[in-house]
Every structure is written in C-alpha cells, then in structure tokens.
Amino acid sequence: MKIIIYLLIALIFFVLYIRYLEYRSIFYPSRGILATPADIGLSFEDVYLKTEDAVTIHGWFIPSPQGPLKGKGTVIFLHGNAGNIGDRLGKIQFFHDSGRDVFIIDYRGYGKSEGRPTEAGIYKDALAAYDYLASRRDVDPKRIIAYGASLGGAVAIDLAAKRNLSCLIVDSAFTSAADMAKRIYPFVPSFLVQTKLDSLGKIKYISAPKLFIHSRDDEIVPLALGRKLYEAAAPPKEFLEITGGHNEGYMDSQEKIAEEMSRFLEGVMLP
C-alpha cells in the first residue's frame, strides 16, 4: 500500500513539474522596458487599452512617416515569448521605414501590461489591439497587417482566424505546442501538454495572403515545422527561407527579408 501511495505522490509531483516546465517554456516575460522608439528617433504614443476580460495592456503606436491614412497600412506587431516591446526596436524601425504605422503590444504580464500570460489571454490581447486600431480615425481597417514572430506567430494566426486582415506575416512560427514539446521535452507524454497553440489547425481556414519566414538554421523551432505550417495553409501564400539562428535570423538575413517582405506587401496591399 505504501508503495502505491509513494508512486501516486511521485506522479503528482511529476505532473506539477511538467506544468511548470510547460509554462516557463512558453512564457518568459520581462517587466522592465529598457528602450523606447524615442531612442531611435521615432515619435510614438503610449497606448493603454482594456481587453474583453478587463485586463489593461500597454503598447506603442508609431505613426508612419507619411502621416495619417497616407502610409502603406498599419502593422500589428506580436512579439515572441521573451522580453517585451522594448527589445523589438530594430523590427519596429524596419516597418516604420517601409512607410507603415506600427502598433506593438505587450501581452498581459509583459512590460507595463497587467496580469499573467495565458494562451487564452494573449489571444484576447491581440483581439483588443486589432479592435482598438480599427476604431482609430487615422487607421484604415482594410489595411491592417498582422506580423507575429515565434510565439507571436501563433497569436497572429489566431487573430487572422477571427478578424479580417489585409495580410498575415508569420516569422519562425511553429505548428502547435504539442509538436514543440516533442522536440524540447521528448520524455513528456503529449496528453500532459495542456497548452494548444494549434496554429496548424487554424491556418487552413485563413483566406488572407500569407508570408511565412523561417531560417534553415533555427535551433529552437525547426524549419520542418515552419514548412509544415506553410503546406497546411490555403493560398495565396509564400515561403521565405533565410539563414541565422532563431533570434539572429533577422540580422543575418536582414537585406533579404526587407526585399522580399516589401515585395510581398506591395503585391497584396490595397492601393
């Protein structure tokens, strides 16, 4: 009898440990924002908005150089699982220099946003960001682009499944949390993974034009998962293969990304 009790206790601790590993692998927020767009010479607005479950989230709205409604659309920037918006100034600069407004948010629990991140919660954060943009008089709701990197790719795909976007860009995205768990923690049974992040199940229903960016050198999210996601997507779609690590691909292939992304956006955006 004691052996059974000890085994049950060990099982409970194992499951709790798996839950901890799962959460820490998916969400790694940082509260301190060390830099703002002003540090790279860009004007911006601090934006605070309420989600449908009454959580206040924070973001920056960086207007295009051309002025209200004169640019090439507005980008909702959905970042990865670590850090906060202050770590994404290089990509903010790229989208701004391409003639677009940028609205980047911190998910709940990141930066100045309230709460604690969860899968359901970060989806609500993106919906609140879209609805806020669509309500602004200086934003054309027919020219809203979602850009999501890594975890943000899953958030952008969920957003595209629920709102009408001009186009969708996913960078270094994975198919599902279960597929990632198999790679990172192969000893964990898939039925113990609670988080879904099921981009593979959603992508086939998205009709907006899609650009997938993935590095052949990605050491965290394998290229094969990015390809699998792309292959499941409905057209129109494009795939851009780059070089460099998961967090270095943007710098390693910056010119190629800038050229191909600009070509893609010019081809799919409304005049």
| Orientation of helix 119-135 relative to helix 151-162, angle to 10° | 60
**pLDDT at 113 (0 to 100):** 99
Supply 167's token pair. 């186009």
**pLDDT at 189 (0 to 100):** 72
Beta-carbon contacts of 54 under 8 Å, excluding residues fewer than 6 positions away, are: none
**pLDDT at 193 (0 to 100):** 73
116-160 per-position pLDDT tens digit = 999 999 999 999 999 999 999 999 999 999 999 999 999 999 999
169-203 per-position pLDDT tens digit = 999 999 999 999 888 777 767 777 788 999 999 99
DSSP state string for 67-129: -TTTSS-EEEEE--SEE-GGG-HHHHHHHHHTT-EEEEEPPTTSTT--S---HHHHHHHHHHH
**pLDDT at 270 (0 to 100):** 56
Q: Which residue has the higher pLDDT, 241 or 20?
A: 241
Topology adopted by domain 2-268: Rossmann fold (3.40.50)
**Residue 271 reports pLDDT greater than 60:** no
Report the predicted TM-score, pTM, of the whole model to 2 decimal places: 0.93
